[in-house]
Amino acid sequence: TTLYVPRDSAALAVGADEVAAAIERETAARGLSVRLVRNGSRGMLWLETLVEVQTSRGRVGYGPVAPEDVPALFEAGWLQGGAHALALGVVDELPWLQRQQRLTFARVGLTDPLSLADYEAHGGLLGLRRALAMPATEVVQQVTDSGLRGRGGAAFPAGIKWKTVAAAAASHKYVVCNADEGDSGTFSDRMVMEGDPFVLVEGMTIAGISTGATRGYIYVRSEYPFAVRTLREAVDIARTAGILGPDVLGSGRAFDIEVRMAAGAYVCGEETALLESLEGKRGIVRAKPPIPALSGLFGQPTVINNVITFASVPIILARGAAFYRDYGVGRSHGTLPIQIAGNVRRGGLVELAFGVTLRELLVDWAGGTVSGRPVKAVQVGGPLGAYVPESKWDVPLDYEAYAAMGAVVGHGGIVVHDDTADLSRLARYAMEFCAIESCGKCTPCRIGSTRGVEVIDRITARAGTAKAEQVELLRDLCDTMLAGSLCAMGGMTPYPVLSALDHYPEDFGLQPADAA
């Protein structure tokens, strides 16, 4: 019998290792022999530790399992899929998974992350093999035609970036993966790196062989030690198997990857600061132009994309651009791994085609708040994303539709607050966060964020015209930051601040008219 116990950080945080140890103790005591696979997480985080048992009906789930539940689960005959209060039925048939469109996350939670055989048995390497069999320009064209846009947040068309690098003449070119997933409430990059690392290796290798880059770097945030360890093992396995190295799958083309651990700066998620950091310098944003596609790492042409962007490439090559492009709405093609976090009953990862609404995510997927109180505000797109009020919850998740209402889809993180949240404090926090994380290169961000905290404090402390004056000052300051910042750090901090002020003026002690 095979049992699956996740090795994902979210499962480890609630005791998955202890559950695995309890299973081993119990099987030894009972003289049973079971095979324990440490898989990735299925993304149903409220059910972790979710243990799956391979039965004739399929993989039957039990969760959330605590170590002390294990003896009773054996008593209940879980190795045959027996009934128990924690039994969930066949995991693949659970509505949470069945209703998703898992393309990028097709294998996450299903396979043994470090088994190349398992990876290939579930469609792995098909994309790379197809890419190696076609001209490099055709590979880039497929990525362009798929409509894939950068999933890190900027949503720039990946194919155009790749084409620029492919066309550039240089002695060295690089592929850099931005795995500095610093947005609060986001974890899709981590889940891929811990749960299906070969898909990232495959996606980056496709980028390398199609643009002429021979070296790749994965820049992983230091807060992800398990992801770093898993990736390093995966890269070693891929090299031994001849997927990486001087002769990628016998094609005569070279590509190799190195995993680098970051040092904990949020701004190093900004691509040029990341490149500085990779070069061994302090993580400060570079002015653009030149763009990294022409002058990136060590001044050479560089493809820099986020984990999810690269991880989406193998299926595009395996199934064709049209297959991927058919998902989504408007100019937002394909799927988005959405991360639901904060005050929710069911938090976790949901991969869906663009076009789903926030209301569907909050009601159908998240199941409302864990506190049982009404949802008041939802922050979409990380700590610098806007707070989306209920009146906008039916807008389809789509880069352009969100931009039109002054919000961002970003990296697909959603953080939910109930009606006890004070939006003036959350707005103040956004400015404080910017002040702490600012790289200091430009004045609107470096100074503006500190002044922003002070102005918000004065708004909440004062009354009458003195209060209104400060509101005007805050709006002026936000204008300056929006228009004058060198990068998205200072340029987006006004999003949460202004959306809080616009939609929740009462939290600042204002009448709606005074907030304008």
- Interacting residues with ligand SF4 (CB under 6 A): 267, 285, 438-442, 445-446, 485-487, 489-490
Q: Give me the count of residues in the chain.
A: 516
Q: Is the dihedral of CA 496, 497, 503, 505 positive or negative?
A: positive
- C-alpha to C-alpha distance for 253 and 390, rounded to whole angstroms: 52
Query: How far apart are CB 267 and ligand SF4 at their closest, in Å?
Result: 5
Q: Considering beta carbons, is residue 235 or 481 the nearer one to ligand SF4? A: 481
Q: Considering beta carbons, is residue 113 or 182 the nearer one to ligand SF4? A: 182
Check: CB of residue 496 under 8 Å from CB of residue 385.
yes
Query: How far apart are CB 491 and ligand SF4 at their closest, in Å?
Result: 6
Q: Considering beta carbons, is residue 265 or 361 the nearer one to ligand SF4? A: 265
Query: How far apart are CB 156 and ligand SF4 at their closest, in Å?
Result: 17
- C-alpha to C-alpha distance for 473 and 493, rounded to whole angstroms: 16
Token code pair at residue 399? 């880069």
Q: Considering beta carbons, is residue 22 or 442 the nearer one to ligand SF4? A: 442
Query: How far apart are CB 285 and ligand SF4 at their closest, in Å?
Result: 4
Q: Considering beta carbons, is residue 204 or 442 the nearer one to ligand SF4? A: 442
Token code pair at residue 494? 């006004």
Secondary structure letter of residue 362 according to DSSP: I
Check: CB of residue 221 under 8 Å from CB of residue 9.
no
- C-alpha to C-alpha distance for 57 and 144, rounded to whole angstroms: 41
Q: Considering beta carbons, is residue 303 or 489 the nearer one to ligand SF4? A: 489
Q: Considering beta carbons, is residue 229 or 282 the nearer one to ligand SF4? A: 282
Q: For residue 235, how far is the Cα from the chain centroid?
A: 21
Asked if the peptide bond before residue 512 counts as cis, ω within 30 degrees of 0, the response is no
- C-alpha to C-alpha distance for 167 and 184, rounded to whole angstroms: 37
Query: How far apart are CB 443 and ligand SF4 at their closest, in Å?
Result: 8
Token code pair at residue 327? 């998902």
Q: Considering beta carbons, is residue 314 or 490 the nearer one to ligand SF4? A: 490
Query: How far apart are CB 488 and ligand SF4 at their closest, in Å?
Result: 7
Q: Considering beta carbons, is residue 349 or 486 the nearer one to ligand SF4? A: 486
- C-alpha to C-alpha distance for 319 and 315, rounded to whole angstroms: 6
Query: How far apart are CB 161 and ligand SF4 at their closest, in Å?
Result: 20
Query: How far apart are CB 80 and ligand SF4 at their closest, in Å?
Result: 57
Closest C-alpha among 212, 230, 19 to residue 108: 230
Closest C-alpha among 489, 384, 509, 391 to residue 439: 489
- C-alpha to C-alpha distance for 361 and 365, rounded to whole angstroms: 5
- C-alpha to C-alpha distance for 78 and 76, rounded to whole angstroms: 6
Query: How far apart are CB 435 and ligand SF4 at their closest, in Å?
Result: 10
Query: How far apart are CB 273 and ligand SF4 at their closest, in Å?
Result: 7
Q: Nearest 5°: CA angle at 63, between 58 and 68?
A: 120
3-state secondary structure of 307: helix
Closest C-alpha among 150, 121, 127 to residue 320: 127
Q: Considering beta carbons, is residue 269 or 342 the nearer one to ligand SF4? A: 269
Enclosing H/E stretch for 234: helix 225-240
